Amino acid sequence: MAVQNGKDLLVKIDLTGDGNFQTVAGLRATRVSFNAESVDVTSLDSAGGWRELLAGAGVKTAAISGSGIFRDEASDERVRQIFFDGEMPDFQVVIPDFGIMEGPFQVTAIEYAGTHDGEATYELSLASAGQLVFTAD
Protein backbone atom coordinates (compact mmCIF):
# COMPACT_ATOMS: atom_id res chain seq x y z
CA MET A 1 0.00 0.00 0.00
CA ALA A 2 1.36 3.39 -0.99
CA VAL A 3 1.30 6.49 1.20
CA GLN A 4 -2.22 7.93 1.44
CA ASN A 5 -3.67 11.38 2.03
CA GLY A 6 -5.34 11.66 5.42
CA LYS A 7 -8.11 13.69 3.81
CA ASP A 8 -9.13 10.57 1.85
CA LEU A 9 -10.23 8.76 5.02
CA LEU A 10 -13.90 9.71 4.96
CA VAL A 11 -16.79 9.28 7.40
CA LYS A 12 -20.13 9.22 5.60
CA ILE A 13 -23.68 9.17 6.91
CA ASP A 14 -27.00 8.20 5.41
CA LEU A 15 -28.76 11.56 5.82
CA THR A 16 -32.24 10.39 4.86
CA GLY A 17 -32.29 6.61 5.40
CA ASP A 18 -32.37 5.82 1.68
CA GLY A 19 -28.85 4.38 1.41
CA ASN A 20 -27.41 7.57 -0.11
CA PHE A 21 -24.29 8.31 1.94
CA GLN A 22 -22.78 11.80 2.19
CA THR A 23 -19.49 12.82 3.74
CA VAL A 24 -19.74 14.38 7.19
CA ALA A 25 -18.52 17.79 6.20
CA GLY A 26 -15.78 19.74 7.89
CA LEU A 27 -13.85 16.84 9.44
CA ARG A 28 -10.14 17.63 9.55
CA ALA A 29 -8.88 14.61 11.49
CA THR A 30 -10.39 11.14 11.64
CA ARG A 31 -9.48 7.99 13.54
CA VAL A 32 -10.89 4.46 13.21
CA SER A 33 -10.12 1.64 15.62
CA PHE A 34 -11.12 -2.02 15.63
CA ASN A 35 -11.04 -4.17 18.75
CA ALA A 36 -11.78 -7.77 19.67
CA GLU A 37 -11.97 -9.07 23.21
CA SER A 38 -10.21 -12.32 23.92
CA VAL A 39 -11.76 -15.26 25.78
CA ASP A 40 -9.20 -17.04 27.95
CA VAL A 41 -9.70 -20.84 28.07
CA THR A 42 -6.39 -21.69 29.72
CA SER A 43 -6.52 -24.67 32.07
CA LEU A 44 -4.14 -26.92 33.98
CA ASP A 45 -3.96 -29.01 30.80
CA SER A 46 -2.69 -26.11 28.66
CA ALA A 47 0.61 -27.06 27.02
CA GLY A 48 3.56 -25.66 28.93
CA GLY A 49 1.27 -23.40 30.98
CA TRP A 50 0.78 -21.11 27.99
CA ARG A 51 -2.41 -19.12 27.73
CA GLU A 52 -5.01 -20.44 25.30
CA LEU A 53 -7.67 -18.29 23.63
CA LEU A 54 -11.01 -19.39 22.19
CA ALA A 55 -11.10 -18.47 18.51
CA GLY A 56 -13.94 -16.22 17.36
CA ALA A 57 -15.57 -15.97 20.79
CA GLY A 58 -14.86 -12.37 21.83
CA VAL A 59 -16.94 -9.25 21.26
CA LYS A 60 -15.80 -7.16 18.27
CA THR A 61 -16.14 -3.39 18.30
CA ALA A 62 -15.27 -0.44 16.12
CA ALA A 63 -14.90 3.18 17.17
CA ILE A 64 -14.67 6.29 15.04
CA SER A 65 -13.64 9.72 16.17
CA GLY A 66 -13.16 12.92 14.25
CA SER A 67 -12.72 16.61 14.73
CA GLY A 68 -13.24 19.54 12.47
CA ILE A 69 -15.09 22.73 11.67
CA PHE A 70 -18.67 23.45 10.70
CA ARG A 71 -19.14 23.56 6.96
CA ASP A 72 -22.28 21.75 5.91
CA GLU A 73 -25.49 22.55 7.73
CA ALA A 74 -27.32 19.37 6.68
CA SER A 75 -24.72 16.87 7.94
CA ASP A 76 -24.07 18.85 11.15
CA GLU A 77 -27.80 19.00 11.87
CA ARG A 78 -28.25 15.28 11.10
CA VAL A 79 -25.44 14.23 13.47
CA ARG A 80 -26.93 16.34 16.27
CA GLN A 81 -30.39 14.90 15.66
CA ILE A 82 -29.03 11.33 15.71
CA PHE A 83 -27.46 12.03 19.10
CA PHE A 84 -30.54 13.62 20.68
CA ASP A 85 -32.96 11.03 19.22
CA GLY A 86 -30.74 8.08 20.18
CA GLU A 87 -30.78 6.77 16.60
CA MET A 88 -28.24 4.28 15.27
CA PRO A 89 -28.21 4.74 11.48
CA ASP A 90 -25.75 3.30 9.02
CA PHE A 91 -22.45 5.06 8.53
CA GLN A 92 -19.71 4.35 6.02
CA VAL A 93 -16.00 4.74 6.63
CA VAL A 94 -13.87 4.92 3.50
CA ILE A 95 -10.30 3.83 4.23
CA PRO A 96 -8.12 4.58 1.17
CA ASP A 97 -6.60 1.53 -0.57
CA PHE A 98 -8.12 -0.68 2.15
CA GLY A 99 -11.88 -0.68 1.72
CA ILE A 100 -15.22 0.52 3.01
CA MET A 101 -16.73 -0.36 6.38
CA GLU A 102 -20.48 0.07 6.71
CA GLY A 103 -23.00 -0.50 9.47
CA PRO A 104 -24.91 1.00 12.37
CA PHE A 105 -23.14 3.36 14.77
CA GLN A 106 -24.25 5.29 17.83
CA VAL A 107 -23.10 8.88 18.26
CA THR A 108 -21.58 8.64 21.74
CA ALA A 109 -20.20 12.17 22.04
CA ILE A 110 -20.32 15.55 20.35
CA GLU A 111 -18.15 18.33 21.72
CA TYR A 112 -18.21 21.95 20.58
CA ALA A 113 -15.44 24.48 21.13
CA GLY A 114 -14.26 27.85 19.92
CA THR A 115 -12.10 30.82 20.79
CA HIS A 116 -12.84 34.48 20.34
CA ASP A 117 -10.26 34.75 17.55
CA GLY A 118 -10.83 31.40 15.80
CA GLU A 119 -13.38 29.17 14.15
CA ALA A 120 -16.00 27.05 15.92
CA THR A 121 -14.89 23.41 16.07
CA TYR A 122 -16.41 20.10 17.03
CA GLU A 123 -15.36 16.59 17.97
CA LEU A 124 -17.43 13.53 17.20
CA SER A 125 -17.25 9.97 18.61
CA LEU A 126 -19.10 6.96 17.24
CA ALA A 127 -19.37 3.38 18.55
CA SER A 128 -20.41 0.37 16.51
CA ALA A 129 -23.97 -0.70 17.28
CA GLY A 130 -24.32 -3.93 15.29
CA GLN A 131 -22.70 -6.05 12.62
CA LEU A 132 -20.37 -4.21 10.28
CA VAL A 133 -19.74 -5.15 6.67
CA PHE A 134 -16.31 -4.63 5.16
CA THR A 135 -15.79 -4.39 1.41
CA ALA A 136 -12.16 -4.48 0.30
CA ASP A 137 -10.85 -2.19 -2.44
Q: In the prediction, which pLDDT does 26 show?
A: 73
**Does an H or E element contain 84, and which?**
helix 73-85
Using 50, 70 and 90 to split pLDDT, how confident is the model at 89? very high
Encode pLDDT of 24-55 as tens digits. Answer: 867 788 888 999 999 999 999 999 989 999 99
CA distances from 133 to 27, 57, 62, 91, 121 (A): 23, 18, 11, 11, 30
Pick the range with the lowest mean pLDDT from 10-14, 73-77, 78-82: 73-77
For 45, other C-beta atoms within 10 Å of its C-beta total 6
Domains of the chain: 6-33+64-136 (2.40.30)
The closest alpha carbon to 6, from 74, 66, 84, belongs to: 66
pLDDT surpassing 70 at residue 67: yes
